[in-house]
Structure 1
Amino acid sequence: MFKWEKEFETGNALVDEQHKTLFEIGDRAYELLRNDFYTDKYDKIIDIIHELKDYTVFHFRAEEEYMLKVGYKGLFSHKKEHDGFIEKFDQIDYNRIDQGQNDYIYELLTFIADWITEHILIKDRQHSHT
């Protein structure tokens, strides 16, 4: 589901490599959704959520430092988007995950896919070409 395509390239090699890692995490979440051998996916879902949050915090920090370095004028609004992404993970209802594991993975995948479409394809390209 999460396959890196040339269209996702921002022109910044460091940012692109970090985005590829985000794709890999998303793809693992998709594989977990498709895996019918696990009767209880809760721990694996939590692992993916923590990995995704930790990696995005790292990635966003690196991206924001780059934007600051190149004098990107949209840094403040871009950072607010990053903060909103992280906030989504701070508001996770762990009981809800346990009650509907596949539904929750699907919602997470939809959120990530929408973020990739909106943020990487549009917003990240703006600062990478400054």
Structure 2
Amino acid sequence: MQHVAWDKSMSVGVEILDDDHRKLLDMFNRLLKAGIAEKDRASLSGLLRGLQEYTTVHFKREEALMEQQGYPGLDAHRAAHRYFIDEVHKLTLDDDDSNEMMLRIDLILLLKEWFIEHIQSVDKQYSPFMAEDAGTTARSTTAH
């Protein structure tokens, strides 16, 4: 699988959320760069933890903005986020006793099939509902 480059087709039109998506895409690309055969289990565990932590921050920010802007698809979007969090959690549990190569493959597939496609299809649906100042509002509420 090749490196995935950020492009305008991934933009949701809210700078802070685009920044979050770029950071998550960077995590995905670091995993790809490390390769599926890397023997350093600690780096894989670190990536899983980092992914869990950052998606939690991002999803809260994104959902708060959608709620603030009155996005009608918020409940379905929250359900999609919960699915992703649950899948990453399952991989984290598998980290203790599974084949590292299979765990890396599962993580790469999850990130590609869910995250990238989620941004390009599901997240795009809320773009028209976001006010131009939504990114500024999000920055001021998350800077604490």
TM-score (norm 2): 0.80
Query: Residue in 1 aligned with 2:134?
Result: none
User: In the TM superposition, what are the counterparts of 1:1-130 in structure 2 within 5 Å?
Assistant: 1-33=3-35, 38=38, 40-92=39-91, 93-94=94-95, 95-96=97-98, 99=99, 101-130=100-129
Alpha-carbon offset, residue 6 of structure 1: 1.5
TM-score (norm 1): 0.88
Structure 2 stretches lacking a partner, 5+ long: 130-144
Alpha-carbon offset, residue 118 of structure 1: 2.7
- State the secondary structure of the residue aligned to 1:2: coil
Count of residue pairs the alignment pairs up? 124
The list of structure 1 runs, each at least 4 consecutive aligned residues, that deviate by more than 6 angstroms after superposition, is none
Deviation string for 1:14-69 (max 9, x for gaps)?
A: 111100000010011111116x6x5x321110000000110000000000000001
**In 1, Cα distance between equivalents of 2:128 and 2:20:** 17
**In 2, Cα distance between equivalents of 1:69 and 1:121:** 22
**In 1, Cα distance between equivalents of 2:128 and 2:44:** 36
Structure 1 stretches lacking a partner, 5+ long: none
| 1:102 partner amino acid | M
**In 2, Cα distance between equivalents of 1:83 and 1:61:** 11
Sequence identity (%): 26
**In 2, Cα distance between equivalents of 1:117 and 1:43:** 25
| 2:52 partner amino acid | K
